[in-house]
Chains A and B, each alone.
Chain A
Amino acid sequence: MSSRRDFLGRLWTWTGGALAAASVLVLFRALRSAAPPVREAALDAAAVSRAVASGGAVVGELFVIGSAEAPVALSLACTHLGCRVAGAPGGFACPCHGSRFDAAGGPVAGPARSALARVPLARRGDTWIARL
């Protein structure tokens, strides 16, 4: 009878909708849990002390400044939209939208609003470990 057909039709629709919603939720949970883990990058201690002695240099994917006992690593990802910044007179400049940073990573001009991230370095043997 038509009411049963209607009911079954609506049941199909609602079940389909529920399945779709459930899969979206499951997908959402899966994507949320897929956050990339903290990555460790090892920096050679000799390269770090050379970088520090010359006033700051790129070691791997970080820019190392500071002193030989307490080096500081700056992330080279622009705080606006993530492009890799390049060295410029007086600090850093981002080629994508024109943000500029001073030698310590503080924002000077352009759309970037915060300073370049400082990555903590921990000594392990004769390497420095950066947690990214």
Chain B
Amino acid sequence: MDAPAPGAGAPSGGFGRLSFGFLAVSVLSGTLLVPFYTPAAAWESLEKIQSGLAWGFFLRAVHAYASFGVLVATAAHAVQVLAARTERQLPAGVWWRSVLLLPVTVAALLGGFVLRGDAEAVAALAIWRRILESLPLAGAEIARLFLGSVPGDLGAVALHHAGTLTLLLWLFTAEHAGRFIPDARGAVLAALVSLALAGTVPLPLGAPPAAAPAHLLGPWSLLGLQGALGYLAPAAGWLLPLAFVLLLGLVRHAEGRVRRALLATLAASCAAYAFFTVRVLLSSRV
């Protein structure tokens, strides 16, 4: 904690505080869901939580919307920082670990999606495994490390989602923010937004895992990549995110024209990503 991020009042801090607040709400609600969830009977657990547990549907929705909020707020915070050019206020190591928050958050969201255990989740897990297996040298072993040795078994995914990734998110965020827990304003605002969304926009239960999914829709944050994978080799599944993270991290070390070029590339890839996302959404309505 030798060089904490700018404190309250700084223009690039608002969404960051909100993101930390969402993380706290997500971790709390996720912990409350633990007694009712069994990875080996994932869909049945979801069914029980959704219909057979008092306020179960609401707790699940709070967890989901708070997790989405982490990603959205982190991304907005990144845009804020890059626009205000305040990235150099962080030491290089802290900056790179903060940049890593984005892919780790997406991995946590993907894990949460897969843990639902419905037909789409089964398909998403298969795709995830194949992408990891396409890593050079030790692809199959890396896939087993993060997704488990038995295809279709959700135990490893659950442990990494609740344990490894949550710890990483918390540690990196705490290091970046200079405090272990979110400040009151961020936490309360995040809680209010999560409660509002969870109550008014219900989350449905997915189709049982036995059948093929009608179409794969979700997780929403990875729809763009899914659209691109229809045209690119499976290795694009890890190459593109890796490239994006590297470019984003390098912005701190570049200036002038190089910095502008990097930002332009990042913006263009975000636009392409949005395009593919919309395309997948539209084609699923057919």
Contacts and interface: CB of A to CB of B under 8 A. Distances in A.
A and B touch in the complex (CB under 8 A): yes
Interface of A: 27-28, 31-32, 34-36, 76-77, 80-86, 95-98, 110-111
A96 B226 contact: yes
B219 interface: no
B234 A81 contact: yes
Contacts of B145: 27, 31
Given A35-B149, A84-B213, A95-B216, 8 more contacts: A27-B145, A32-B141, A34-B149, A81-B229, A84-B123, A86-B211, A97-B230, A98-B230
B230 A110 contact: yes
Contacts of B212: 76, 83-86, 95
Interface residues of B, number: 29
Given A28-B138, A31-B144, A83 B229 contact: no
A117 to B, nearest CB: 14
Interface string B22-41: 00000000000000000000
Interface in B178-233: 211-216, 226, 229-231
B205 to A, nearest CB: 18
13 contacts: A27-B145, A28-B141, A32-B141, A35-B140, A81-B130, A81-B234, A83-B216, A84-B212, A86-B211, A86-B214, A97-B230, A98-B230, A111-B231
Given A36-B151, A80-B234, A96 B123 contact: yes
Contacts of B231: 111
Contacts of A32: 140-141
Given A36-B149, A36-B150, A82 B130 contact: yes
Contacts of B151: 36
A123 B140 CA distance: 32
Interface in B143-187: 144-145, 149-151
Contacts of A95: 123, 212-216
A68 B13 CA distance: 69
